[in-house]
Structure 1
Amino acid sequence: MNEIQNRQHVVKRNRLERTMEGDAFSAFAITALRLAGHLTAAGDQLAKPAGQTSARWQVLAAARRSNMSVAQIARALGLARQGVQRLADVLESEGLISYADNPHHQRAKLVQLTAEGAARLGAIEIAQARWANELGAAFTSAELNSACAVMARAMKMLAADEAADD
């Protein structure tokens, strides 16, 4: 056996073969990652006329609740607190959000949407509704609900794995 064939044999022997379900989940994960990229790009396009990005839009939408700290927003979005803090500070400097005292925590201020922030968010949401209606028309609600259920279940399983690793 030549050297290359020998190395390939060792690699194959040391690799666990995936099941049909494992192959399907791998394809699902790759498709979800590719979809996430397309959704972020589309979100950036939807938010651009309001002078925003997808990331800033997410923080503005979370600020509408006005009872969440930066850390709570980060957890809800599945993002790093530091990144959300940087975005929130920029949004605050532009007058789109403000910080308010938090009765439950002395240092962790609550993020609140300002009137200007609400106007920008409203413009984005109008554009998003048109976009979602147009794309949504290509599917049945049952198809989309089923896809959401699978994704939610996968996220729950991954979150449990992450928590077990901590």
Structure 2
Amino acid sequence: MTNKQWTEAGEAVTALILDVFRLNGRLQLAGDRLVAELGLTSARWQILGAIAYVDRPESVAWHARAMGVHRQGVQRIVNEMEKEDILEFRPNPHHKRAQLVVLTTKGQNLFDAALALQVPWVNDLSEGLSSNDIATTQEVIGLLKKRLEASSTSQGERSIQY
């Protein structure tokens, strides 16, 4: 055990981090249940969403970085979905080996079906929450995320730019 004492804010952020870990686990389980009938998992659904919501096609490395996860895990799932005609690879004019990933028609239909299930679920989940409280929560999470990204870059983690 360490002798260091948290500041009041440090203790609060530690409690928040633990709650976010628990929330993430519950969201993954709920997501798995929600989209199981579509043959999806939360991980696949998350990747479909990452691809569906970008303005232009991006590489697997770019998506992994944006999602805050390891490229290898995303690559494995993307490769599986490519074999199932959910995603396809396209040439990347900026990098020979880092192909761009896009939804196929099947993939877009699958994502749309997942959203049709998610909308009533999230509307029920958000019942009674105020828009201001949600916005404040997003601000705090966004600030912590930016600080983590800045500290990881300053500690020598490679920044992926394809």
After TM superposition, the score normalised by the length of structure 2 is: 0.90
Corresponding position of 1:5? none
Name the one with the larger helix percent.
Answer: 1
Q: How many residue pairs get matched?
A: 154
Q: Aligned ranges for residues 117-132 of structure 1 at < 5 Å?
A: 117-132=107-122
| Aligned equivalent of 1:35, options 23, 26, 34 | 23
Corresponding position of 1:143? 133
Question: How much identity, in percent, do the aligned residues show?
Answer: 37
After TM superposition, the score normalised by the length of structure 1 is: 0.87
Range that drifts further, 56-65 or 46-55 = 56-65
Corresponding position of 1:88? 78
Which consecutive residues of structure 1, in runs of 5 or more, have no partner in the other structure?
A: 1-10
Report deviation, 1:119.
1.0
Which consecutive residues of structure 2, in runs of 5 or more, have no partner in the other structure?
A: 157-162
RMSD: 1.3
- Counterpart CA distance in 1 for 2:10 and 2:62 is 33
Query: Higher Cα Rg: structure 1 or 2?
Result: 1
Name the one with the larger strand percent.
Answer: 1
Secondary structure at the aligned position of 1:99 is classed as strand
Corresponding position of 2:32? 44
Say if 2:77 is the partner of 1:78: no
Secondary structure at the aligned position of 1:106 is classed as coil
Report deviation, 1:20.
1.7
Say if 2:88 is the partner of 1:98: yes
Q: Which runs of 4+ in 1 moved over 3 A?
A: none
* Larger RCO (CA under 8 A, 6+ residues apart): 2
Report deviation, 1:151.
0.6
Secondary structure at the aligned position of 1:17 is classed as coil
Letter in 2 for 1:128: Q
